[in-house]
Amino acid sequence: MARLNSFLLLSLICFLPLCLCDKSYGGKLFPGFYAHSYPQAGEIVRSVVAKAVARETRMAASLLRLHFHDCFVQGCDGSLLLDSGGRIVSEKSSNPNSKSARGFDVVDQIKADLEKQCPGTVSCADILTLAARDSSVLTGGPSWVVPLGRRDSRSASLSGSNNNIPAPNNTFSTILSKFNRQGLDVTDLVALSGSHTIGFSRCTSFRQRLYNQSGNGRPDMTLEQSFAANLRQKCPRSGGDQNLSVLDIISVAKFDNSYFKNLIENKGLLNSDQVLFSSNEKSRELVKKYAEDQEEFFEQFAESMIKMGNISPLTGSSGEIRKNCRKMNS
């Protein structure tokens, strides 16, 4: 009997060569967290993201945005991915996410592919972090080594999503305050805003700048006039809320430093973009520096992404590893 049990145990190990127990690393994030338990995890994430971006380049910006919106609410814990149900009120219905957050189907596909080989091993929070890095690389942006080992939350915060994520029409001081609450500084703010070198924004997010910036029925006078005229053709005073305009008029599908060059020319699409150049001396100097030196921007963006990815992660025995990113394990 003992010999039979030993044979069964050996057989099980042989047929599950990828799924081994990992060390906890003292509850800290670590780039090699899955090196023994699931060494192919990063490759699987990258493959799914690459296919998604090949189908639709915009998806790279969408996945970067998911990571940002997740980390600013309860930390980088995958709470954004939870659907409403039971005691969960989803963050997807918040003002920053409703009708705009997208890419959830890509995350679902990544999770499904990962679960086929090593169920219950890679967290949804780590999937978001890896997908964000891969989205940068696939569009020509920087790469970085991603610390891993996050676990998934068993809760979501609709109020946190509404209150913590900067809004397109926030003032510079409000935006910086929201970054500071997460342990991020003005350098991180400017560098991370540079992700707007790819992607689109909805008319409802910048209409105020075109028609009624300060509540006096006048447009934002910092907006370059010919640029504003073109935007009005796509974004009427009423209606067309979901109409899209590019965030970077120079190279919408390429991750580069042209976003900062646009700001210097007063061609930032969102108020939250343009105030980086118009409202604060330190941020203005950073915009100029990154506009002149793309390598400097890339280095700081990578550093700030790692820093953002380290916001209040759940590690060790906290949280769980969800089987389905949209719902907690039963």
Please give the positions annotated as active site. 69
Among the listed residues 124, 273, 140, 152, the one whose alpha carbon sits nearest the alpha carbon of residue 206? 273
- Name the one residue in this structure whose structure tokens are 């003292």: 26
Among the listed residues 80, 129, 124, the one whose alpha carbon sits nearest the alpha carbon of residue 308? 129
User: With 0-12 CB in 10 A as exposed, 13-18 as middle and 19+ as buried, what is 145?
Assistant: exposed
Dist. CA 225–CA 297, nearest whole Å: 28
Structure tokens belonging to residue 64: 């970067």
- Name the one residue in this structure whose structure tokens are 């699987």: 44
User: With 0-12 CB in 10 A as exposed, 13-18 as middle and 19+ as buried, what is 104?
Assistant: middle
168 near 272, Cβ under 8 Å?
A: yes
Q: Reduced to 3 states, what is the DSSP secondary structure of residue 278?
A: helix
CA 284 and chain centroid, separation: 24
Please list, in sequence order, all residues whose beta carbon lies within 8 angstroms of the beta carbon of residue 131, skipping any fewer than 6 positions away. 45, 49, 63, 66, 67, 103, 106, 107, 110
DSSP 93: G
Element (H, E) at 261: helix 258-264
